[in-house]
Amino acid sequence: GRAPRVAVIGGGQSAAEVTLDLSERNPNVRIDLVFRGHALKPSDSSPFVNEIFNPDYIDHFHSRDESQRAAIIRSFRNTNYAVVDPDLLDQLYRMTYQQRVCGSRRLALHPRSEIVGAQAVRDGIALELLNKDEGIRHHATYDAIVLATGYERSPIPAFLDPISRYIETSALERDYRLQTSPGFRPQVYLQGCSEISHGLSDTLLSVLPMRAHEITAALLSSTGTQRGAEQEPHLAERVYS
């Protein structure tokens, strides 16, 4: 029968991994990789740059003001966002090169393109693609669409809306504690929500033990202080991740 056709939307690590996996699982699948950038770009994992993920760099980052923090994140975005591991890039390039040599194009890259229309049709999902360099639109129908377009990182999760009036700022304290108004007694600690205050290492699972240690130390310290002063037997803090 007809070879299945899949559109993968995105230009980062997830999109590249999905594209390679689909190609290996089903050699007959036709894949369109659609992304906004001019080309798939490699992630920067060089040793000096990689030091921004070291736990001690968090102290430096947290001590900067808001504008300096934002500048640091912009400068190092190519370590983590909309980039692909170099080895994976090589695999994809070899795949496209071999297909060009053999005259069989199962994987097509669509740089500088974005989706401007989509609708369900009898044969699948019809997409309207806009090539932003040439201003040309074209239509294609796919059996499946894979969205590898990333996600929005919210510094204050929606489940904290009920206490939003007590939250003073979205930037967390160095020990990952939410800054709340003086009259709010419970202490709330967050993990995975502190990129704007603690840097890009917030996205790494490898730093999780260090964060857990710091939060645990803060909990024990604050609990001891409260019990000594007020003899409260119950732990009021919560940790969210």
Query: What is the strand order of the sheet 144-147 is part of?
Result: 107-110, 30-34, 5-9, 144-147
- The DSSP letter of residue 11 is S
Considering the entire predicted model, what is its pTM?
Answer: 0.80
CA angle 133, 76, 240 (to 5 degrees): 110
Give pLDDT tens digits for 203-229.
888 888 889 999 999 999 876 444 344
Q: Tell whether the model's pLDDT for residue 192 goes beyond 60.
A: yes
In angstroms, the CA 173 to CA 184 distance is 15
Give 233's pLDDT tier (boundaries 50, 70, 90). Answer: very low
Give 241's pLDDT tier (boundaries 50, 70, 90). Answer: low
- The reported pLDDT for the residue numbered 239 is 52
- The reported pLDDT for the residue numbered 228 is 40
Give pLDDT tens digits for 166-180.
999 999 999 999 999
Give pLDDT tens digits for 89-142.
999 999 999 998 988 889 999 999 999 999 999 999 999 999 999 999 999 999
- The DSSP letter of residue 173 is P
Give pLDDT tens digits for 6-64.
999 999 999 999 999 999 999 899 999 999 999 999 999 999 999 999 888 999 999 99
Domains, the chain, in order of start with CATH, read 5-42+81-147 (3.50.50.60), 158-240 (no CATH)
Mean pLDDT of 191-203: 91
CA angle 96, 99, 101 (to 5 degrees): 115
